[in-house]
């Protein structure tokens, strides 16, 4: 070895001791993608499968690791319907893989339609022997095999791990069993990362401000002790708009209904037990939409994106929830605090009409006064106009005579599609004063009750329905 080569070897050895070794590459965990659906109500009618197939295709394209279906998978609760659901699954995920080639698992729980035949659910009749032979509720092992390939139904509350994420499922009617299950399996349930929990009815008093109904509340205290839980639910068929998200102790998200969405136009004014009361406003039109959502669980946050898979459009902006989750029981819609208030377009006006209509749901004919106004626009997450406060006051005194909060049409659609439909508010024949000048103000509001500038109209309700001029009043 030459002297110069010897010196070079010595230098290299010395430098290798002096310099730090290259840092080992730290593997970054891949985000886990979960498709989210509820109330698919698949029947033997082939048309009922189209929304489900569109959702499965979207989930496959997004690289879903799991697909959550929060109950009412089938319309009449039969194994034949369930076979059709899984046939659609196999077409979308051949070999149990998504479009990226990764494994995808179904995580379905049963709802009231799955556990009851139509005769039992609607006609209050017992299931016949013929029905029982093909009913999910009397063949739970077979139903579970059809969905998962496993031979035995695991019970009414189940725990699974998919792609490293813990999933807990609560079958219809078993909500009160959840607290004991969580206590028994506490060692298996992580507290330092998100856990996905699925049940059919909404946890009582959470998403949609409680007016959409919920379970009996037996599991509420147990869920409140798990702030890392994300609970998906369905049953009410309420569209997945901004009021679907509740962060008051755990995360509660209403998963909607891809086949039959519906919402009360005057839901904000409802109270417990008032759902059957006659009212002047019909159900709002959610829009021609097939809603499906995608949950992405990352290292430091959880993201929730909503889609109309019928038209290939996004429904509102993505929700980004930093983890660990922040909760506020007194203000569970706090994410909207930083969002701008929705605003009416500059040319917006209130139209007034008196029309022959029928009360809902008893269909008693009556004259109604209907206020119509354009959709307010928004920009950014949690800023969409999800409701309008309609205030009627005496024009001379300014004294508020009546207020009503109404929800618009199109809440299941993209903002552009929703903006095509004006919002309305109806009053009964004796609710508003006649032959007296009144002032009507309409305030657009987001899910955090932040209100934009109102539009105002003054007029006199008389036999001729004399109308005044519209104007915008700055606040």
pLDDT in tens, the chain (475 residues): 443 443 343 333 443 343 333 333 333 478 999 999 999 999 988 889 999 999 999 999 999 999 999 999 999 999 999 999 999 999 999 999 999 999 999 999 999 999 876 545 555 567 777 778 899 988 999 999 999 999 899 999 999 999 999 999 999 999 999 999 999 999 999 999 999 999 999 999 999 987 888 898 899 999 999 999 999 999 999 999 999 999 999 999 999 999 888 887 877 776 544 455 668 888 888 888 999 999 999 999 999 999 999 999 999 889 999 999 999 999 999 988 889 999 999 999 999 988 888 888 888 898 889 999 999 987 788 888 999 999 999 999 999 999 999 999 888 998 888 888 889 999 988 888 888 899 999 999 999 999 999 999 998 887 545 444 333 333 2
Integer Cα distance of 452 and 174 in angstroms: 43
The answer to whether 66 touches 34, Cβ cutoff 8 Å, is yes
pLDDT value of position 100: 96
Determine the pLDDT at residue 125: 64
This prediction has a pTM of 0.88
Q: What was the pLDDT predicted at 118?
A: 52
pLDDT of residue 74: 95
The pLDDT, as a whole number, for residue 15 is 33
pLDDT at site 120: 56
d(CA 37, CA 293): 7
Q: Roughly how many angstroms between the first and final C-alpha of the chain, as a whole number? A: 89
- pLDDT at position 167, please? 98
pLDDT for residue 123:
54
Q: What are the start-end ranges of the E strands in 86-244?
A: 105-109, 157-162, 165-170, 195-199, 229-233
- According to the model, what pLDDT value does residue 342 have? 94
Query: Which of 279, 308, 276, 270 minimizes the C-alpha distance to 292?
Result: 308
Q: Is 173 exposed, middle or buried (0-12, 13-18, 19+ CB in 10 A)?
A: middle
* Per-residue model confidence (pLDDT) at position 459: 85
DSSP string, 10-52: HHHHHHHHHSPPPPPPPPPPPPEEEEEE----B-SSGGGGHHH
Q: Tokens representing 350?
A: 């209130």
């Amino acid at each position: 070895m030459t002297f110069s080569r010897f010196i070079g070897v010595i230098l290299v050895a010395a430098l290798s001791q002096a310099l730090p070794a290259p840092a080992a590459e730290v593997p970054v965990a891949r985000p886990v993608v979960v498709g989210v659906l509820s109330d698919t109500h698949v029947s033997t009618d082939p048309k009922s499968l189209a929304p489900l197939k569109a959702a499965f295709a979207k989930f496959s394209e997004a690289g879903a690791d799991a697909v959550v279906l929060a109950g009412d998978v089938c319309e009449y609760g039969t194994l034949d319907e369930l076979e059709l659901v899984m046939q659609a699954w196999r077409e979308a995920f051949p070999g149990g893989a998504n479009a990226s080639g990764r494994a995808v698992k179904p995580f379905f729980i049963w709802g009231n339609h799955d556990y009851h035949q139509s005769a039992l659910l609607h006609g209050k009749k017992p299931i016949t022997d013929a029905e029982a032979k093909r009913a999910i509720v009397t063949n739970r092992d077979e139903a579970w095999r059809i969905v998962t390939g496993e031979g035995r139904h695991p019970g009414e509350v189940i725990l699974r791990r998919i792609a490293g994420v813990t999933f807990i499922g609560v079958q219809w009617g078993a909500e009160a069993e959840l607290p004991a299950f969580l206590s028994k399996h506490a060692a298996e349930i992580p507290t330092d990362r998100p856990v996905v929990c699925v049940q059919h009815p909404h946890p009582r008093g959470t998403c949609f401000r409680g007016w959409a109904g919920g379970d009996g509340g037996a599991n509420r205290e147990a869920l409140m002790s798990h702030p890392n839980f994300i609970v998906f639910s369905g049953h009410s068929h309420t569209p997945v708009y901004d009021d679907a998200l509740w962060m008051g102790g755990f995360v509660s998200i209403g998963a909607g209904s891809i086949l039959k969405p519906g919402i009360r136009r005057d839901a904000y004014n409802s109270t417990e037990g008032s759902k059957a009361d006659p009212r002047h406003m019909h159900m709002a039109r959610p829009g021609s939409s097939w809603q499906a959502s995608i949950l992405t669980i990352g290292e430091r946050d959880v993201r929730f994106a909503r889609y109309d898979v019928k038209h290939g459009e996004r429904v509102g902006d993505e929700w980004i929830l930093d983890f660990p989750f922040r909760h506020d029981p007194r203000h569970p819609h706090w994410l909207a605090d930083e969002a701008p208030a929705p605003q009416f377009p500059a040319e917006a006006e209130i139209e007034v009409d008196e029309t022959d209509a029928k009360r809902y749901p008893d269909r008693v004919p009556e004259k109604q006064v209907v206020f119509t106004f354009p959709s307010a626009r928004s920009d950014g997450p949690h800023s969409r106009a999800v409701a309008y406060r309609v205030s009627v006051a005496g024009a001379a005194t300014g004294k508020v005579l009546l207020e009503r909060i109404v929800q618009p049409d199109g809440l299941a659609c993209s903002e552009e599609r929703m903006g095509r439909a004006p919002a309305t508010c109806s009053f009964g024949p004796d609710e508003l004063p006649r032959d007296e000048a009144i002032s009507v103000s309409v305030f657009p509001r987001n899910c955090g009750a932040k209100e934009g500038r109102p539009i105002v109209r003054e007029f006199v309700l008389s036999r001729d329905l004399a109308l005044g001029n519209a104007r915008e009043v700055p606040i």
